[in-house]
Amino acid sequence: MKKIAVLTSGGDSPGMNAAIRAVVRKGIFSGLEVYGVYQGYQGLMQGQIKKLEVGSVGDIIHRGGTMLYTARSEEFKTDEGQYKAISQLKALGIEGLVVIGGDGSYQGAAKLTEKGFPCIGLPGTIDNDIAGTDYTIGFDTALNTVVDAIDKIRDTATSHDRTFIIEVMGRRAGDIALWSGLAGGAETILIPEHPHELEEMMERLNSGISRGKKHSIIVLAEGVGSADDLAGELMGKFGLETRISVLGHIQRGGKPTGRDRVLASRLGAKAVELLLEGKGGRAIGIIKEQIVDLDLQEIAGKKDPLPENLYILSQELSI
Ligand code: ATP
Q: What pLDDT digit, counting tens, does each position of 94-143 carry?
A: 999 999 999 999 999 999 999 999 999 999 999 999 999 999 999 999 99
Give the distance (Å) from ligand 1 centre to CA of residue 206.
Answer: 43
Residue 31 pLDDT > 90: yes
Residue with CA nearest ligand 1 atom 18? 72
Known catalytic residue: 127? yes
Q: Where in the chain is the domain with CATH 3.40.50.460?
A: 140-252
The domain made up of 3-138+256-299 has a fold known as Rossmann fold (3.40.50)
Cα 256 to Cα 65: distance, rounded to the nearest angstrom: 9
Q: Sort 310 into a burial class: Cβ within 10 Å, 0-12 / 13-18 / 19+.
A: middle
Distance 12 CA to ligand 1 centre (A): 12
For the residues 153-171, what does the mean pLDDT come to?
93
86-90, 205-209, 222-226: least confidently modelled range: 205-209
Among 14-18, 34-38, 211-215, where is mean pLDDT lowest? 211-215
pLDDT at residue number 213: 81
Residue of 72, 73, 100, 303 to mutate, ligand 1, most atoms within 8 A of C-beta = 72
How much is the pLDDT for 185?
A: 94
Handedness of CA 196, 306, 253, 188 (dihedral sign): positive
DSSP 99-127: EEE-HHHHHHHHHHHHTT--EEEEEB-TT
Provide the 8-state DSSP code for 257: P
Better-scored residue on pLDDT, 222 or 315: 222
What kind of fold does domain 140-252 have according to CATH?
Rossmann fold (3.40.50)
| pLDDT at residue 203 in the model | 87
Percent above pLDDT 90 for the chain = 88
Give mean pLDDT, residues 284-306: 94
Would the pLDDT of 91 be above 90?
A: yes
pTM for the model: 0.96
Non-local CB neighbours of 36 within 8 Å, separated by 6+ positions: 5, 6, 7, 20, 24, 49, 50, 51, 52, 56, 67, 68
Among 75-84, 120-129, 154-163, 178-187, whose mean pLDDT is lowest? Answer: 154-163
| pLDDT for res 201 | 86
Separation of 170 CA from ligand 1 center, angstroms?
15
Binding residues: 11, 21-25, 72-73, 102-105, 125-127, 154, 162, 169-171, 185-187, 211, 213-215, 222, 243, 249-252
pLDDT of residue 14: 98
Q: Is 10 touching ligand 1 by the criterion CB < 6 Å?
A: yes
State how far the Cα of 92 lies from the Cα of 70, in Å rounded to an integer.
21
CATH 3.40.50.450 domain position(s) in the chain: 3-138+256-299
Q: 86 CA to middle of ligand 1, Å?
A: 17
Dihedral sign of CA atoms 112, 116, 119, 121 in order:
positive
pLDDT of residue 302: 87
Bridge partners of 245, per DSSP, are 166
Q: State pLDDT tens for residues 220-279.
A: 999 999 999 999 999 999 999 999 999 999 999 999 999 999 999 999 999 999 999 999
pLDDT category at 74 given cuts 50, 70, 90 is very high
Once rounded to an integer, what is the mean pLDDT over residues 207-220? Answer: 86
| Span 25-45, average pLDDT | 98
Is residue 103 within 6 Å of ligand 1 at its C-beta?
Answer: yes
User: Ligand 1 atom closest to Cα of 171?
Assistant: 2
311 lines ligand 1 (CB under 6 A): no
Q: What is the mean pLDDT of the chain?
A: 95
Q: Between 91 and 208, whose confidence is greater? A: 91
Q: What is the C-alpha to C-alpha distance for residues 52 and 313, in angstroms, rounded to an integer?
A: 47
Using alpha carbons, list the distances in angstroms from residue 151 to 155, 166, 169, 185, 249: 7, 11, 17, 9, 18
